[in-house]
Chains A and B, each alone.
Chain A
Amino acid sequence: MATHAKPRTNRTTLLTAAASVVTLVVAGIVVAVLLGSGGSSSASVPYRDPAAAGALGLCSKAGVQITSGSTTTKPFAWRAVSTSAAPRPYASGTATLYAFQPREGVTPDGWSGEMITASSRYRNDAHPTAAATGADIDLADFLTAYPAQYHGFVQLRLYLGGPNLPLRTTSYATADIQVSGSTWRQVGAPHVDCAVGMSAVSLETEVQPS
């Protein structure tokens, strides 16, 4: 009996362990999908966007990189410079900066958001850039409509487009902004040379020069 019991116990233990491993792996997948990710790109950013490709650096009007500021500064940032090059159809195209509201348990393609600049024409294809004007909104305006819910985060995305081209929304450079009170800080900001994006021109200037 003992000779039969021991192997049975071993089989049971192995199967239990296997079942636990399967359950843990699948549960991990579920959690990752619910977070919209297969992991986290930064220890302090509670989500990962699988469509994110490249990072955004933010710049002041003077062309200096900024990583924090006031939510009531208008515009929120004067330039958003991508670290990833524009793919071929979008060479010398347009770039538009969007803000999205991460929501826990919702994948990034289900987050709500809006444009926070109009389109800009960029000339440096290695660093597509959105340029803002004084007519663009501050972060507080966006937060009034879409309050930061998920650990205070707002995700910025740079969508590329161009004349008679569909907007590229399947892959984009991002920035993760964490809001606390009336201030914001960029988490995991890349280093960018703001000078590389200075040739970008906002199409808004045709409406309301800053």
Chain B
Amino acid sequence: MKTRSLAVRAGATAAVALGVVAAVQLPASADGAPSSTDVVGVGSDIVQNSLDFLADGDIHGNPGYNSAGNKNRLISFDATADANGRNGFTDPSLGTSVPLNPTVVLRAGTSPVQRPNGGGAGLTALINDGKNGVSSNLISFVRSPNLPTAAQQATAQANLGTPLHTVEIADDKQVIATASTTNAPSALSAAELVGIYDGTYTKWNQLPGNSSGSSATIVPLIPQNGAGVRTVFLNALKAANNGTAVTLATDVRQVQQNDPTTITGLSDTDRPNAIVPFPIGRYSLLQSGYFHDPNTPYSASAPATALGVNGIQLQKTGTAPDGSAAFAADLPYYVIFRESDLASTTPWQPGSTLNWVRELFLNPGGPAPFVNSAPGKALLTAAGVTPDYVDKGNTTSG
């Protein structure tokens, strides 16, 4: 009896101890969706690659924030369900193909919701991530090339109980892209673009100072509704139109933002006459070989060829027929979050003293947040943009 008792006791002691070992070594369960303490961002297409790089690194060997393997991660959901930045559409075999409205699971254990596609859509989603002054905190931040409007700030205060706060992390420029072989003049001014997009000028030779130009019909393209780069472009046209918003002509076609195939995929007739606002950063990223042909199945031994910028060109410099400089709009990269998260005294990572805003994006008076660290700036540069760290506070775009 005693022998058995001792054996049992010894075995039990070992089992308990081994149980502790097993508990200590138990790996965290893998889950594609963010946990409640991860930082989750949504929003702009054009800003998405910069945040992707900051989170998970680039293809040149620069690691991202998550490479440290910390408990809590930076998750930035792309605007598009496709990593090459293309919109999703319904199956054409089931009828006329229409935009899919892809969804995303913002947090583990929650239902898929509509994926915000663009900075504007992202801001709308963030300010609706709560009600009656109480945040739901499914969305932590928004990527956007535009500041929140005064109305959005007011709604955020009402819904979330806090204003929104913005930090600029990088700069880019939006210029005009054409086909490599084009009937467009080598540069187009902001004033000429106003006339093209409002329908005043429909042919190249109608542009002031370009009477000897082509008589072909201009094909003006514009990024889709909800895209922050569309807002940037329309705001630039408004500024060039003495502050009056431009009413788009009926022949202005809505296209997927920042995609060269919106031009290269056109008919032989339309391609040389198409123009579309395009970010220099995305053009540089395409040139870097980051994106690959999505029509080729994955194979380590026969990798897909890199997509490039063949077939399009940018009007970065030069003088337009009217004597003005080529159009170029500032394209700031903003990260927008609840101001209460900046003020939070809750550290984010185990053992840290910093909340997630101060760790990642904005840390007034303290060590550089990741986005403004040397590794962070190297990643932004690899994404084709110029790092620029500016606290914009809770200012608005009007």
Number of interface residues, chain B, beta carbon within 8 A: 44
In the complex, what residues of A have CB within 8 A of residue B10's CB? 15, 18-19, 22-23
User: Which residues does chain B contribute within 8 Å of A203, judged by CB atoms?
Assistant: 60-62, 378
Residues on B with beta carbons closer than 8 Å to the beta carbon of A30: 17, 20-21, 24
Q: How far is the CB of B382 from chain A (nearest CB, A)?
A: 8
Annotate B340-362 by CB proximity to A: 1 below 8 A, 0 otherwise. Answer: 00000000011111100001000
Distance in Å from the Cβ of A65 to the closest Cβ of chain B?
23
Given A15-B3, A30-B17, check contact A167 B367 (CB 8 Å): no
- Which partner residue on chain A sits nearest B60 by CB separation? A163
Are B378 and A204 in contact (CB-based, < 8 A)? yes
Known: A137-B373, A161-B63. A145 touches B367 (CB 8 A): yes
Q: Chain B interface secondary structure, helix, strand, loop or mixed?
A: helix
Q: How large is the interface on A (under 10, 10 to 19, 20 to 34, 35 or more residues)?
A: 35 or more
Tell me, in angstroms, the Cα distance from A206 to B147 when the chains sit together: 29
Q: Which of A121-165 contact B (CB under 8 A)?
A: 121, 133, 135-137, 141-142, 144-147, 149, 159, 161-165
Per-residue CB proximity of A85-127 to B under 8 Å, as 1/0?
0000000011010101101001101111111011101000000
B381 interface hit (Cβ, 8 Å) = yes
Say if the beta carbon of B70 comes within 8 Å of chain A: yes
How far is A30 from B353 in the complex, measured between Cα atoms in Å? 29
Could you tell me the distance in whole angstroms from the C-beta of B201 to the nearest C-beta in chain A? 42
Chain A contact residues: over half helix, strand or loop, or mixed?
mixed
CA distance A103 to B71 in the complex (A): 14
- Residues of B with C-beta under 8 A to A204: 374-375, 377-378
Cβ contacts A to B, 14 pairs, < 8 Å: A96-B62, A113-B69, A115-B63, A118-B375, A118-B378, A119-B63, A137-B368, A137-B374, A141-B367, A141-B368, A149-B351, A159-B67, A163-B60, A206-B378
Report which A residues bind B (CB closer than 8 A). 11-12, 15-16, 18-19, 22-23, 26-27, 29-30, 33-34, 93-94, 96, 98, 100-101, 103, 106-107, 109-115, 117-119, 121, 133, 135-137, 141-142, 144-147, 149, 159, 161-165, 167, 169, 203-204, 206-208
